[in-house]
Structure 1
Amino acid sequence: MIDESGFGSGTPIDYTRYGGDYVAYEYLTVQADRDLEPLYKDTYRSFGWIIENTTTGVLAGGAPNPTTVTLKLKRDRRIRNRPLVNELQRKAESAMEAIHDLENSRTSTALAVALAIGIVGSAFLAGSVFAIEAGLWVLSIPLGAVGLLGWLAGYLAHGRIKARKTTQTAPLIDEQYEIIYDASEQAARLLA
C-alpha cells in the first residue's frame, strides 16, 4: 500500500478523512468546431461527462486555432450501465463526426468548383498576356474578356453550389441530430 508520502507503509489511505469516498475518474479530451461547441458540451454531459476546461484549439505548429475548441472532460469510472452508455456515446460521436463532415462538404465542394473555374479563367488571361507580347492584339482582347468572365463565373458558381449543397445536406444533418438526441436521451435514462 502507498501512504500520503508516496512510500509503501502497508496501511491503506483513509479517504474519508479528506472529505468523502475516493472517486476514480476517466478523462477525455475532445476537439470540436467552435460552431458545434454547444452540441458537443450538451451531448457529453448527457453521457455523464463533466466539463473541466474549454480552451481555444491549437494548430499543428502550436499556434492558436480560433475555429476550434478543446474540451477537457472527466467522468466517474463507476457510472451505472457503463457498457451501454459507452456504446450510445460511440453512436453519438459518430453522428457528430458525420455532421462535421457534412458541414465541411458544403464549402469544400463549392470551393473546389470555384477554384477550377477560376484557374481556367486565369489560363485565358495568361493566354491574353502572351497574345499581347506576340503582337496579336485582336486575339488578346477576347481571351482577356473570357478570362475575366471565368473569374466572375467562379465567384457566382461558389454561391450557387454552396446553396444547392446546403439544401441537399440539411435533411442528412437533421437525421444525425436526431441520432444524437436519441442516444443522449437513452444514456440519460441509463445514468439516472
Structure 2
Amino acid sequence: MDLTSLFKLSYGLYIVSSTDGEKHGGCIVNTVTQVTAEPVKLVVAVHKDNVTTSMIEKSGKFCVCVLNETAPMELIGRFGFKTSRDIDKFDGIEYKVDKNGLYYPAQEVAAVVSCNVLEKVDLGTHILFVAQACDAFTVNDQPVLTYAYYHSVKKGRTPPKASSYQKPQKKSGFKCTVCGYIYEGDTLPEDYVCPVCGVAANMFEKL
C-alpha cells in the first residue's frame, strides 16, 4: 500500500483546547471535520497519550481554533511538539476565553468553534470525539492554514502522535531530538535554533 497517497487528502491545521478544571491545555490536530449542519456537529480525533485528550474526557468540552496561514512556527511548536505535562502552553501568550470557559490563543486564529462532547469512539491509538457546536464565530478573513501549506511552505514536520504521521525517510543533515525537525546540510551552525520547538543546536543529532 502506497501510504504517500494519503498526502492527497485535504486537511486543515487546528488548535484544540480544553481543561481539567485546574489547568488549561491544548494541542495541534489536523482531524477536525463538520459532519452535520442541523444541529452543527463536529468530530475530532486526538491521540490517547495527549493531556488534551484526558482534559476533553473529564470536562466534556473542547474549543477548536482554525489557524491563519501566518501562524508562526513557534506557536505550532508550542502546541504541537510540547506537552501540557511539562509546561503551561498558555503562559506567555495572549489568550481569550470561549463560551465554555476554555482558553484559546488570541492571535493568528481565523475562527473559533466551542463544542460539547456527545460521544466518543476508541480508535486504538486515538479517541474520536463527536460533539455539537454551542458557539462559533469568525475572527478574520485571512487565508487559513492547510496541512499542505504547513508542509510545502512552512516546511513543518508531523508529530509522531498525529493521525497522519509517517516515519520519515532517511536524509542527510541533522535531526532535532525533541520534535523531529530536520535541518538539511553538512554543517549545523552553532547558534542554530530549531524553528519548530525552539531548542538549541546541541539538541540535534547528525543523520
Given the two structures, how large is their TM-score scaled by the length of structure 1? Answer: 0.30
Larger Rg: 1
Q: Which has the larger share of helix?
A: 1
Q: Which has the larger share of strand?
A: 2
Given the two structures, how large is their TM-score scaled by the length of structure 2? Answer: 0.29
